[in-house]
Amino acid sequence: MKFIIERDLLLKNLKYINSIVSSNNNLLNDINSISIIITNKNYIILKCNNNEIEININIKLLNNNFKNKYKINISYKKIYNICKNIDKKSKITFLIKKNYLLINNKNTMFYILIYKNIYKSIFKNNNNINNIISLSINKNSLINIINKTYFSTINSDIKNYINYMLFEIIKNKIFFTSTDGYRLSNYNFEIINNNYNISLLIPKKTINEINKFLLYINDDIINICICNKYIYIKTDYIIFKFLVYKNLFPNYINIINEKREFILDINKDKLLESIYKIISISDDKNPILRLIINKKNTILKLINSKNEVSIGLIKSYINYDFNNYEIGINPVYLINILERIDNKFIKIYFSNKYSSIKIEDIKDINNINIIMPIKI
């Protein structure tokens, strides 16, 4: 039984799944094996997983004499190293003989042991779960929504929910929300023909892999099927599955809708440029950026541990006649938000020195960010 494949195509896909295989902590799969399913058609299925994600990739063959499907489990590291060291643009011949996979390229041959029953699918018991929702989404829209919300998640052993991103579908909108307890990012976009409401948590590490997957594929439109225990994203040649969890996220709607009396209009680009200059003297792990607001200007001020001071001035407008009203903000949090806003001008909403601050892109009201101020 023999099949032939292009070395570059196989290596490209092996490189892509590296982070999934390498992060596998499953004791049943501790040798980091991958599964290869040889079909009776012109492709093989490359299959791997970690504790939360499974990927199936269809890879086109140059030749295949298998009459029936055949599945083997082999070491990922070994096949990856072999392909990496084989000549570029060459062909690799695979043969199965008893308990070994023979890999032949020009004058070099490898005998790789085939493992028995090592690969354990995390979705094995979920195959009969019916889809709750099936929809098609523009890939770039999904990349954009992840980029504008993912940064507010952190790793925490104390508050478990902040290790996750909240994924919601409410009527005709998809919402992504993340928080670390001191800031919150929320973004939504519209979908059509949806009659379902759903609320699930996606792990932070999974979100990172989803983003890598979206950047890897060429499809403009992706198909998403949402079940009660997992979600899978499907293209013509890849199926990306991942586990989801029951929503334990805190109620964030009240803080977004909180009434804020004052509105500051300011140029985002000039604010970001000034912040980078001001924090250049910072020597603290958690510096405090002071925004000193009056009717026509906003002053940025930072004092480091040696009492050195940096000050910047930006023209702005506020709907109240303030005389040097002062608010403390974490500059890193503010930079993270401003770098992800596409338009030139933003609105900053606040009520006092102690309540939450809301930041909005004036041309994209779907993008909302909340920061808690720092006591000065």
Domain 2-113 in CATH 1.10.10.10: no
- Amino acid present at 141: S
Q: What is the largest CA-CA distance in the chain?
A: 84
Return the closest-CA partner of residue 202 out of 214, 211, 192, 191.
211
Domain 258-371 in CATH 3.10.150.10: yes
CB atoms within 10 A of CB 299: 17
CB atoms within 10 A of CB 159: 13
Phi, psi of 352 (to 5 degrees): -155, -175
CB neighbour list of residue 174: distance below 8 Å, 6 or more residues apart: 137, 145, 167, 168, 188, 189, 191
2-113 and 258-371, same CATH topology: yes
Each residue's pLDDT tens digit in the chain (376 positions)?
A: 789 999 999 999 999 999 888 876 544 444 578 899 988 888 999 999 888 999 999 999 998 888 888 889 999 999 999 999 999 999 999 999 989 999 999 889 999 999 876 556 777 655 455 567 888 889 999 999 999 999 998 765 455 557 899 999 988 889 999 999 899 999 998 887 777 888 999 999 999 999 999 999 999 999 999 987 899 999 989 999 999 998 888 889 999 999 999 999 999 999 999 999 999 999 988 899 999 999 889 999 999 999 999 999 999 999 988 788 899 999 999 999 999 999 999 999 999 888 999 999 998 989 999 999 999 8
According to DSSP, the residues that pair with 151 across neighbouring strands are none
**What is the CATH number that goes with domain 126-246?**
3.10.150.10
122: left (phi over 0), alpha (psi -120 to 50) or beta: alpha
pTM of the model: 0.87
Domain boundaries, the chain: 2-113, 126-246, 258-371
